Amino acid sequence: MTAIANTGATAAPWDAPYVQAPVDATVRIPASKSLTNRYLVLAALADGPCRLRAPLHSRDSRLMVDALRALGAGVEEVPGSGAYGPDLVVTPIDRSGGSAAMDIDCGLAGTVMRFVPPLAALGNGPAVFDGDPAARQRPMGPTIAALRGLGVAVDDGGTNALPFTVQGVGTVAGGHLVIDASASSQFVSALLLAGPAFTNGLHLEHSGPPVPSLDHIRMTVSVLRDAGVDVDDSAADHWIVQPGPIRAFDVAIEPDLSNAGPFLAAALATGGTVRIPGWPEQTTQVGDQWRTILPRLGAEVSYADGVLTVTGGAGIRGADLADTSELAPTAAALCALAEEPSRLTGIAHLRGHETDRLAALVTEINRLGGDAEETPDGLIIRPRPLHAGLFRSYADHRMATAGAIIGLAVQGVQVEDIGTTSKTMPEFPELWRALCATASSAAAGAR
């Protein structure tokens, strides 16, 4: 397994397929980034070997695998039945042994830069964390402050950001800890995942403006409970994790419902139909919100026998959408093609994602002639005809896929650095081509 470097913007721009007939496609989506990387972390701390079936194989998951290997976990690829690569068998970290200094490359993965430092604190010896240039811009202060609050030395050269060194001393006492997680839910998830391995467990309290992306914290609590960990999240902004073993597990990873978004969006952008098999009936993934978001934008959505089917109508409606978290760039692309104004709220923290997504979306939609505006906590997007041009990605996979969605309906859109989709879905260009091919076989001018 080799690390995938970010491709940067050096490759030639990608001609986004422009589709003149409705798509009619069934798309099998690769596994969830958020679930894969949570299960990898839990497996590294578990009380025995664990198996991840049909996991994600992307840049972010490989960075996590490499980080856990550096900390002493064994991760082996074994044949499985997933469509997108082997299963993973993880042998947990042996925490009784010493370890040498290690380097952890976080790339641009929030899950690696936030979830792994608490594990390094439980290790022995220094761990140096760094990542892509853009990673050094992402908020890390609450992770650094939390570790210090737990008695772990962190040397960040005074920057409150990557790069930094965590001095693992083998054990973390845990106990009550107050953090401000208003910039990212990942600050909470990271500490909860390591909490059962702290000697006294963890009582984590958030103090500050609201925590975003609460679905992702519910996912963390759910995977911990499934592994036998006692977590009390009954009081808002408090999470109490009892110390104890993380039970070894064998789990099949759900498809990434956030990454299903651009494909489902193609149904609206072309007036076609897209079916996603393997859609879980019950899930903690934020992407399940597509079932409620897309009808508000004018789609028909139905679910039967594990297949989500989305059919677009004659046009795209506008909507007010709150707390869309990582779904926002995809939703914004649809809103840019809509016939009515839309407002996205509750996403101020997207300024600290792979790039400042609010600024990036406004710049790129407006560069194509659109009418998008930043608000303190989101975006307003008004209808205005778009034209051909370059849609820049800012090393952000969801910006690249937003450009692809717009390109379906606007002739002559090029996307800079489509390879950046390898962060969570290396198969994107190939799956998108296959999706678009279902339209070219239909009668041109059918829309």
Ligand X SMILES: O=C(O)C1=C[C@@H](OP(=O)(O)O)[C@@H](O)[C@H](O)C1
Ligand Y SMILES: C=C(OP(=O)(O)O)C(=O)O
Task: Give least dist CB 165 to ligand Y, A.
Answer: 21
- Residue 393 interface partner, choices ligand X, ligand Y, none, CB cut-off 5-8 Å depending on type: none
Task: Give least dist CB 402 to ligand Y, A.
Answer: 11
- Residue 398 interface partner, choices ligand Y, ligand X, none, CB cut-off 5-8 Å depending on type: ligand Y
What is the residue-wise DSSP string for 44-113? HHSSS-EEEES---SHHHHHHHHHHHHTT-EEEEE--S-TTS-EEEEEPP-TTS----EEEE-TT-HHHH
Quick one: which of 102, 109, 267, 365 contacts ligand Y (CB under 6 A)?
109
Task: Give least dist CB 108 to ligand Y, A.
Answer: 6
The residue whose Cβ lies closest to ligand Y is 110
Give the position of tokens 């990898």. 40
Q: Where does this chain touch ligand Y (CB under 6 A) — which range of 38-46, 76-84, 103-111, 315-323?
A: 103-111
Q: Is 222 annotated as a binding residue?
A: no
Interface residues toward ligand X, by CB under 6 A: 34, 110-111, 184-186, 189, 212-213, 216, 325-326, 349
The 137-176 site mask, x for binding ligand Y (CB under 6 A), equals ----------------------------------------
In 3D, which of 54, 56, 75, 78 has the Cα closest to residue 66?
A: 75
Contact between residue 357 and residue 110 where contact means Cβ atoms under 8 Å apart: no
- Residue 212 interface partner, choices ligand X, ligand Y, none, CB cut-off 5-8 Å depending on type: ligand X
DSSP structure class, residue 376? T
Measured from the CB atom, is 57 or 216 closer to ligand X?
216
Residue 373 appears among annotated catalytic residues: no
Distance CA 106, CA 63 (A): 6
Distance CA 283, CA 25 (A): 23
59-70 and 33-45 helices, crossing angle to 10°: 10
Distance CA 90, CA 37 (A): 12
In 3D, which of 263, 285, 261, 283 has the Cα closest to residue 272?
A: 263
- Residue 109 interface partner, choices ligand X, ligand Y, none, CB cut-off 5-8 Å depending on type: ligand Y
In 3D, which of 252, 219, 192, 250 has the Cα closest to residue 43?
A: 250
Q: Is 184 annotated as a binding residue?
A: yes
Q: Which of residues 344-383 bind ligand Y (CB under 6 A)?
A: 353-354
**Residue in 326, 354, 364, 416 annotated catalytic:** 326
* DSSP helix/strand/coil, 237: coil
Measured from the CB atom, is 415 or 436 closer to ligand Y?
415
- Residue 99 interface partner, choices ligand Y, ligand X, none, CB cut-off 5-8 Å depending on type: none
Cα–Cα distances in angstroms (integers) from residue 367 to residues 12, 318, 336, 364, 386, in the given order: 19, 20, 12, 5, 9
Annotated binding site for phosphoenolpyruvate: 33, 110, 138, 186, 357, 398, 423
Which residues are catalytic, by number? 326
User: Which chain residues interact with ligand Y by CB under 6 A?
Assistant: 109-111, 326, 353-354, 398, 424
